[in-house]
Amino acid sequence: MALPTGLLRQLRAGALPLGVGLLLGFALTVSSGVRAHRDPAAPTLSAADTRLLESVLTDIGTDYVDRVDLHQLLHRGLADTVARLDPYSALLDPSEFAQLKERTSGTYCGIGVEIGAVTGGIEVTRVHQSSPAERAGIRRGDRLYAVNGGAIGGDDTHAVAARLQGPPGSVLTLTLAHGLGADPFELSVTRAPVHIVTVTSSLLEGGVGYVRISYFADATPAELERELNALKRRNGGALAGLVLDLRANPGGVLESGIAVADDFLDTGVIVRSVGRDREANFVARATPGDLLSGRPLAVLIDNGSASAAEIVAQALKDNQRATLIGRKSFGKGSVQTIMPLSDGGALRLTTARWSGPSGASLTGVGLEPDLALAAPTSPAAVSGLSLQAALADSDVAAAVDVLARAPAARLAQAPLP
């Protein structure tokens, strides 16, 4: 991959382990905090603007009818300002930033569940493999009512996430029920380091591999290579083909998405990025080393496949390396940079727009599959599927059928310039 050195440094400097939907559509980079190539013509806050801001806050602090916390007021004002830029820019408080970093790193200390807000409370949407929650018998679909005796009825998912995490070895007492309407019960769970596995796999009949990527974390490329090697060993040699499942994949770390696309390409453009900062302008190109050695590849996408997932799918499609199967993707063609702030929080700011090898942007449009399947699916429903359930659904069967009719191996790619 031909990425600028500065961008690689930012990407590796190091985005919520509890999947509550806030990662949807992100292609993330993490800034080192040093922005050496700022646009010299970029507007700055004038002395008059600074005085005006200080004057307004002072007047509010001294004369408003009720006592006001000026720090909170300023933070809410800044958060509202950033949110008005676009749907993906946001001001993150220290807790949100910490959760974001944990998701990109793939490791955090807690019990190993993902949660979501549902009517009437909080529901477990996923239980991670080999986690304390799995060992304690917590299931997908369980309703969570209290943590250590404290009800969570009025809490949002961020607050619940913070209460579930803590030092390794500490014990949580949870009040939950196996589904809405079931009798609540108490369960003790001991927190421990949890590794979030983003890549799962299975060997299908006829030597066809199946790999599912739930989102793109720092460790995803290494996990993918490990899973592919395991599939080859189980098959006793090269795979006949591969189904790459990117359904309900909301994106994640930009560098990881690029690396995954590169794993199936020998040559060709992967993605083009354009922004105001010099290091936001780059073209990522594939390097030799197709992990499938040219075997047929089918990629499953749907309306929950976004950003970094769309980068992978479009790169493989435009370079004539894979057949896309499923439904139109989400349609997000921007990149967010995470800029750490002095208060321990961070600014998540849209800093670039990306396009695929053909130059087409997917923003608001989405990526059309080569083979369209039935009606749109719910990303939450797909992301919650167990590996066994995913293998049994009709989308995977359609992809296997496409692979069965594909040439045994592609002898050459036709990369776009």
Out of 155, 290, 318, 395, the active site residue is: 318
- Residue 34 CB-density burial (10 A; 0-12 exposed, 13-18 middle, 19+ buried): exposed
Q: Ramachandran region of residue 166, left (φ > 0), alpha (ψ -120 to 50) or beta?
A: left
Per-residue pLDDT of 227-247, as tens digits, reads 999 999 999 999 999 999 999
Helices 254-262 and 308-318 pack at an angle, to 10 degrees, of: 30
- Residue 14 CB-density burial (10 A; 0-12 exposed, 13-18 middle, 19+ buried): middle
For residue 241, the Cα-to-chain-centroid distance in whole angstroms is 26
Domain ranges of the chain: 108-195, 199-404
- Residue 326 CB-density burial (10 A; 0-12 exposed, 13-18 middle, 19+ buried): buried
Q: What is the CATH number of domain 108-195?
A: 2.30.42.10
Topology classification of domain 199-404: 2-enoyl-CoA Hydratase; Chain A, domain 1 (3.90.226)
Nearest to 371 by CA among 406, 324, 407: 324
Told to judge if 214 belongs to the known catalytic residues of this protein, a careful annotator would answer no
pLDDT above 70 coverage of the chain, percent: 83
User: Across all residues in the chain, what is the average pLDDT?
Assistant: 84
> Regarding beta strands 143-147 and 334-340, do their DSSP bridges make them parallel or antiparallel, or are they unpaired?
unpaired
Contacts of 203-207 with C-beta under 8 Å, sequence gap 24+, read 203/231, 203/234, 203/235, 204/243, 204/391, 204/400, 206/240, 206/400, 206/404, 207/235, 207/237, 207/239, 207/240, 207/241
pLDDT above 60: residue 4: no
- Across the range 162-188, mean pLDDT stands at 91
Told to judge if 328 belongs to the known catalytic residues of this protein, a careful annotator would answer no
Which pLDDT belongs to residue 334? Answer: 93
**What's the CA gap between 49 and 41, in Å, rounded?**
18
Helices 254-262 and 5-12 pack at an angle, to 10 degrees, of: 110
The residue type of 328 is: K
pLDDT above 50: residue 287: yes
The residue type of 326 is: G
pLDDT above 90: residue 209: yes
DSSP letter assigned to residue 40 = T
pLDDT above 90: residue 325: yes
Out of 332, 334, 383, 395, the active site residue is: 332
Out of 305, 307, 329, 334, the active site residue is: 307
- Across the range 92-99, mean pLDDT stands at 86
Which pLDDT belongs to residue 407? Answer: 73
Per-residue pLDDT of 122-172, as tens digits, reads 888 888 888 999 999 999 889 999 999 998 876 677 788 888 988 999 999
Per-residue pLDDT of 38-76, as tens digits, reads 565 667 888 999 999 999 999 999 999 999 999 889 999
pLDDT above 60: residue 410: no
Q: Ramachandran region of residue 193, left (φ > 0), alpha (ψ -120 to 50) or beta?
A: beta
Per-residue pLDDT band for 25 (boundaries 50, 70, 90) equals very low
**What's the CA gap between 160 and 157, in Å, rounded?**
5
Told to judge if 318 belongs to the known catalytic residues of this protein, a careful annotator would answer yes
